[in-house]
């Protein structure tokens, strides 16, 4: 069940938000954040199209209310009298609010710094004392924090809502059915910018994209990165799932480090995972088995389950290998330069190796290129002065991480080349634009993403057979939706 957060500054804004929420499932809640209003009006509860959870938080609770405690209590009394189904109150305050019926009470415990063990105990104590529900919200930085939250949720299934604060906490909101939470929170559509305390919370549109508004999914997958929100994966995969009736969701999973990846997968019941910068090498240690291809690359971008075992694989190699054929056999005979020394560069080297193409590698960090060259038996070179026949950009240069730079000097681009750029973005990268101007044949990160995604789907859902053309269309759709929304 969803609780849509309405945090508008004006009465007109609240009414407009209510109008947008008319189509919410009938059992949904609307959290009316009275503290967000310039002049709080609890009588608006009567106009809500769904049951109301009324909230009025102070700055210490990441809210905006600065009035007296007596006035705050009066506002929430009036909200209850107007028909609010529940009143959200912090656990430290609740003992003094004897007027608040237990069956209308949601007791909240927030810990913005620590791991929340004491706050959790306090919230559970209120449940034991008769409160209808409790909510525990803790700052989440990494996968270990998400495992900790999953464990805490076991204390009162059906009555306890456990949420991770920050972008890393998205999983706790999207997969709340795993914890048997009575509901989860999303931000309602709004014309105003979300406050700092709400900006990290997924929107109702996010939940719609992820296929989570109605029934919980049977399968949960995602993309793991330190900047998972940059990925187009949630747009692309969820579109395909919905088009083909697959009961699955694909989520952004952000973390500051990949430690505890295997326990995280088990704790949150994931079915598969894409892994991208900078965790492709670390993904190998999370698997029960590693495919020969992933071993050769020394990195994995895909985790999937086969007969109860987690398998680490590398579909980037297949995408690069097949994509390189678009440049023609002649180009492959002429030799290649790989720019970069990370997971994508490793995959590119192995793909070129499978074609028998002479390959060298260069990097802004020469010591990394030399280590890579030694591992794969190729040559590490400084940036050459002679244009290579095939140029593979396996760095983030040109992506949203670095959208305005070239990974090589402009004089290295000629009409005789095949240029393969693994990056994607709202428009062709500077490398691709210049290569096209020079008359080179090119392949972009759009094609690479579609090719590797097809391979991932084959592993996650072997009975699903999709063509490259459909994957390309879904990738292009995802880029438009993702980057148009982010620029709005």
Q: Which domains does the chain have, with CATH numbers?
A: 2-203 (3.20.20.70), 225-313+449-487 (3.40.50.10860), 318-443 (3.40.50.720)
pTM: 0.90
- Nearest CA to 200 out of 267, 273, 141 is that of 141
How many CB atoms neighbour CB 108 within 10 A? 24
Q: Return the active site residues.
A: 280
pLDDT of residue 486: 58
**Lookup result for tokens 């209003």:** 37
By DSSP bridging, strand 302-306 and strand 272-275 are antiparallel
367 cis-preceded (ω within 30 degrees of 0): no
Angle between the 343-354 and 366-376 helix axes, to the nearest 10 degrees?
Answer: 40
By DSSP bridging, strand 359-362 and strand 379-380 are parallel
pLDDT of residue 61: 82
Contacts of 171 (CB under 8 A, 6+ apart): 146, 164, 222, 251, 253, 268
**Lookup result for tokens 């939470």:** 181
Alpha helices in 177-307 (DSSP H): 204-209, 233-243, 261-267, 292-297
**Residue 339 in contact with residue 407, Cβ under 8 Å?**
yes
**Lookup result for tokens 């305005």:** 404
For 58, the token pair is 């102070």
The separation between CA 90 and the C-alpha centre of its own chain, rounded to angstroms, equals 29
Q: What is the DSSP letter of 477?
A: H
The Cα 116–Cα 49 span in angstroms is 34
**Residue 308 in contact with residue 362, Cβ under 8 Å?**
no
φ, ψ of residue 15 in degrees (nearest 5): -65, -40
pLDDT of residue 70: 93
For 290, the token pair is 């590693």
The Cα 257–Cα 147 span in angstroms is 14
pLDDT of residue 114: 63
Find residue 3's DSSP bridge partners.
29, 185
Scored b (16 or more CB within 10 A) or e, 129-158 reads: eebbbbbbbbbbbbbbbbbbbbebbebbee
Q: Concatenated DSSP letters for 360-382?
A: EEE-SSHHHHHHHHHHHT-EE-S
**Lookup result for tokens 């392949």:** 443
- Nearest CA to 393 out of 363, 366, 355 is that of 363
pLDDT tens digits for the chain (488 residues)?
999 999 999 999 999 999 999 999 999 999 999 999 999 999 999 999 999 999 999 988 888 999 999 999 999 999 999 999 999 998 888 778 889 999 999 999 888 776 666 777 777 777 877 789 999 988 888 999 999 999 988 888 899 999 998 888 999 999 999 999 999 999 999 888 877 678 888 999 999 999 998 788 999 999 999 988 889 999 999 999 999 999 999 999 999 889 899 999 999 999 999 999 899 999 999 999 999 999 999 999 999 999 999 999 999 999 999 999 988 888 888 999 999 999 999 999 999 999 999 999 999 999 999 999 999 999 999 999 999 999 999 999 988 778 889 999 999 999 999 999 999 888 899 999 999 999 999 999 999 999 999 999 999 999 998 999 999 999 999 999 888 765 55
pLDDT of residue 369: 96
263 cis-preceded (ω within 30 degrees of 0): no
- The three-state secondary structure class of 387 is coil
């Amino acid at each position: 069940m969803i609780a849509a957060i309405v945090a508008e500054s004006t009465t007109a804004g609240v009414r407009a938000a209510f109008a947008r929420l008319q189509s919410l499932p009938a059992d949904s809640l609307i959290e009316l954040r009275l503290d967000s209003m310039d002049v709080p009006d609890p009588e608006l509860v009567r106009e809500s199209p769904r049951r109301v959870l009324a909230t009025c938080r102070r700055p210490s609770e990441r809210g905006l209310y600065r009035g007296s405690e007596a006035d705050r209590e009066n506002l929430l009394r009036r909200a209850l009298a107007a028909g609010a189904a529940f009143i959200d109150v912090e656990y430290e305050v609740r003992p003094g609010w004897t007027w608040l019926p237990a069956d209308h009470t949601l007791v909240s415990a927030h810990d913005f710094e620590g791991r929340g063990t004491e706050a959790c105990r306090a919230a559970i104590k209120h449940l034991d004392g008769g409160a209808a529900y409790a909510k525990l919200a803790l700052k989440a930085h990494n996968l270990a924090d998400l495992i900790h939250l999953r464990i805490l949720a076991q204390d009162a299934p059906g009555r306890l809502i456990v949420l991770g604060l920050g972008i890393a906490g998205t999983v706790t909101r999207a997969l709340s059915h795993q914890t048997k939470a009575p509901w989860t929170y999303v931000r309602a559509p709004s014309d105003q910018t979300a406050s700092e305390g709400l900006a990290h919370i997924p929107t109702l549109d996010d939940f719609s994209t992820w296929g989570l508004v109605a029934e919980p999914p049977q399968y949960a997958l995602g993309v793991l990165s330190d900047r998972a929100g940059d990925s187009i994966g949630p747009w692309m995969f969820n579109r395909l799932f919905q088009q083909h009736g697959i009961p699955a969701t694909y989520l952004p999973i952000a973390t500051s480090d990949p430690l505890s990846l295997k326990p995280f997968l088990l704790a949150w019941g994931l079915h598969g995972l894409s892994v991208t910068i900078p965790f492709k090498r670390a993904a190998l240690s999370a698997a029960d088995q590693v495919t020969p291809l992933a071993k050769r690359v020394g990195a994995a971008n895909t985790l999937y389950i086969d007969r109860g075992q987690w398998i680490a694989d590398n579909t980037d190699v297949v995408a690069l290998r097949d994509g390189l054929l678009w440049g023609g056999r002649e180009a492959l005979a002429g030799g290649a330069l790989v720019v970069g020394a990370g997971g994508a560069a490793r995959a590119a080297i192995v793909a070129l190796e499978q074609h028998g193409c002479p390959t060298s590698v260069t990097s802004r960090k020469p010591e990394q290129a030399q280590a890579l060259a030694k591992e794969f038996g190729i040559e590490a070179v400084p940036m050459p002065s002679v244009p290579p026949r095939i140029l593979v950009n396996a760095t983030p240069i040109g992506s949203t991480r670095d959208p305005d730079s070239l990974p090589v000097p402009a004089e290295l681009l000629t009409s005789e080349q095949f240029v393969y750029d693994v990056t994607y973005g709202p428009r062709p990268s500077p490398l691709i634009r210049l290569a096209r101007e020079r008359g080179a044949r090119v392949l972009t990160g759009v094609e690479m993403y579609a090719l590797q995604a097809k391979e991932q789907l084959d592993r996650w859902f072997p009975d699903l057979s999709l063509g490259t053309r459909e994957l390309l269309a879904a990738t292009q759709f995802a880029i438009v939706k993702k980057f148009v929304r982010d620029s709005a």
